[in-house]
Amino acid sequence: MNKIDEIFTKRPYYGVPRITKELNKDIFMANHKRVYRLMGIMGIEAVFPKPNLSKPNIAHDIYPYLLTDLEVSHPNHVWGVDITYIRLRGDWLYLFVVLDWFSRYILAWELSDSLSSDFCCETLRRALTIAVPDIYNSDQGSQLTTEEYLEILKSHSEIKISMDHKGRCFDNIFTERLWRTIKYEEVYLKDYGSPREARQSLTEYLKFYNEERFHSSLNYKTPAEIYFEKSVKSF
């Protein structure tokens, strides 16, 4: 699973056949059925258009995609959320983040040992104690479309809910970039021995990411500088 995660983080447009091919280049002797099953456990799939071969098991409210040709112009204009796999020594966790697209500031995050919606709901509630976005964007993953999760958003009538289209590439591009940054600068350099160790190390890194890491796309300012400076100026 660790190697699958590295390949997918580097090339998120790779599906099961290509990831299987990459694994076998390194003498992993993987087969596509096992790779498919492990990618399911990790909650990942290639970001490219594909035929609709099955219907969702659980019906949920579907909202339009609101970000086409939108210029994100200020903090809290658009928030994006996503979940990624975090490897441990002999185990794994899932990381969920709420990201402000304009500043790249992480408003809230949480780790979980399962893909239940509970930890996503709690993280979203924490983010909403800081601010409320104009537009909230997510994919249509089961954790992010439960009735409880959507009710949190609908309780703030000013929020416009946006959902990625099925088969669209990189609708959540800023969060995809965040995953690559976190994994190459933190996760792949560490060997977390326990959930506690992973949480402690990620807490330090994500604080660094928000408050000290300069971003070339932000004119070498930090996400916190942009988020709080522009938020104040917008009032």
Lowest-confidence segment of 28-32, 88-92, 126-130, 224-228 by average pLDDT: 28-32
d(CA 229, CA 224): 8
Among 218, 228, 186, 221, which Cα is nearest to 203's? 186
- Give backbone dihedrals phi and psi of 117, rounded to 5 degrees, phi first: -85, -10
Q: Which pLDDT tens digit goes with each residue over 77-130?
A: 999 999 998 989 988 899 999 999 999 999 999 999 998 899 999 999 999 999
d(CA 137, CA 154): 13
Q: What is the pLDDT of residue 19?
A: 63
List own/partner pairs for 60-65 with CB under 8 A and 24 or more apart: 60/140, 60/142, 60/145, 60/146, 60/147, 60/150, 61/145, 61/150, 62/140, 62/163, 63/161, 63/162, 63/163, 64/162, 64/163, 65/137, 65/162, 65/163, 65/164, 65/165, 65/168, 65/171
Higher pLDDT, 18 or 84: 84
d(CA 66, CA 80): 12
d(CA 98, CA 109): 6
Cα–chain center distance at 193? 23
Q: Which pLDDT tens digit goes with each residue over 34-51?
A: 666 666 666 555 444 333
Under the banding of pLDDT at 50, 70 and 90, the label for residue 55 is: very low
* C-beta separation of 109 from 80 below 8 A: no
- pTM here? 0.76
> Quick one: what percent of the chain has pLDDT higher than 90?
56
